[in-house]
Chain A
């Protein structure tokens, strides 16, 4: 997984991660398929799609979440955006690994073996560089009940270390019924992806306050 983040370049290249045409075509096809299958309607609430560096944080209900949020972004934004996903799921098997590494250009996080000097947040910041946006799921795993769980602190450290990045709350509705936990065949129901207004870590804001505010920003779009 080679990322231009390793080479600091002031000008983002047209294909940010240097993906092959096959992978880009697969990405386009998969994005279309995901949108068709999950019937996702996309809403931007007090917010606009932009290629500036952002962190999209969403509630996590289904394995399809990362794919569908990624597909909901306009193509120019999508090419700049890398989902952050669990290594234990996405590196299993040839197809998943190929999808994660070549098509979505995902940043895979080892959930089982978190080291102090190699924290997931550092990895994310390094991989994002100065151009890429990230899609993260701060609950850390899929919720079982469909309720939005407490956010883990990663989002806070991310915001603290990179205060210049816009944080965009994303609410995913109904996708847990399309592909619930423990199922592998999707049911083509209609889902809804809402993008909210950008937020930042306030000066001197405490960790728990910030995480609660971020969680409320996601829940606010539930209607």
Chain B
């Protein structure tokens, strides 16, 4: 029975989270171990985030494909909100932004939910772009025209278009899994999320342990080449260990996917860092007191999801839609 793998995956994740929580609580209660208390606090905060992430994902997966697409749609909407909030726009962009938020973003996710790859793959990059350019021109404000339209476009592509490839994984018909429902697709999506989170974490750990050469000191003061290399290797290893959980992959394919996901996630983090540096803020969520912002959490995911999606298509050889 195919679902044994799902049970194994869920049990494994639960066991890991519980073990990590136990360790985190133990360290928090025994501050005399000579470990950096700030690092322990960060670890425990991250852990709390993962519990929330896993609970929300489990609920969405249990409710089905539509619920998961809606969940990702809401995350995209919120991330785009944070992106545009921190990007200076002018009054002439107002009407274009209205349609971007209330028409293009929801409609894109409807197309994803309807499995219309033929439309959704071009809807935002082509049609939304043309609309934004024209609408801003119609508004009659030509100052820094290309810069302003490019900002809106970048926000749409990163926060909405790229992220939507994650729930789109649920629609890929996996060869040999016909008649078993789409639990395999949910495992595939979870595999991606797990790899992205793990790569983020490993990047931090390796940078802290061995970090010497910064990739770009002016953009990020903690992302190093060692971190990238370490994270790519560790994530590839994890993917190899878990290859049985991601249905269409052979061992080597899963390993390759892990490697690519780690590199793309790193690139996403760097990109968002550059934007944040330019705007002079630490997190996208500075306007929301008390949490780091949605965009800070999903930046790596946004970059990794489309590449992972297309790797899956290449490997399975299926036609989407």
Which chain A residues have a beta carbon within 8 Å of chain B's beta carbons? 39, 41, 43, 173-174, 177, 180, 183, 185-192
Contact = CB atoms under 8 A, between A and B. Distances in A.
Contacts of A189: 81, 84-85
B97 A191 contact: no
In the A-B complex, the 6 residue pairs with the closest CB atoms = A190-B85, A187-B97, A190-B287, A189-B85, A185-B98, A41-B288
B82 A43 contact: no
Contacts of B85: 39, 174, 177, 189-190
Interface stretch (B17-25, B87-95, B157-165, B203-211): B87-95
B287 A191 contact: yes
Contacts of B77: 188
A185 B91 contact: no
Interface of B: 77, 81-82, 84-85, 89, 91, 94-95, 97-98, 101, 287-289
Contacts of A190: 81-82, 85, 287-288
Interface of B is mostly: helix
A183 B287 contact: no
Contacts, number: 41
A18 B98 CA distance: 38
A187 B84 CA distance: 10
Contacts of B81: 39, 188-190
A206 B287 CA distance: 36
Interface of A is mostly: loop
B291 to A, nearest CB: 10
A187 B91 CA distance: 11
Contact of B94 (A43, A173, A180): A180
30 contacts: A39-B81, A39-B85, A39-B287, A39-B288, A41-B287, A41-B288, A173-B287, A174-B287, A177-B85, A180-B91, A180-B94, A183-B91, A183-B94, A185-B94, A185-B95, A185-B98, A187-B94, A187-B101, A188-B77, A188-B81, A188-B101, A189-B81, A189-B84, A189-B85, A190-B81, A190-B82, A190-B85, A190-B288, A191-B287, A192-B287
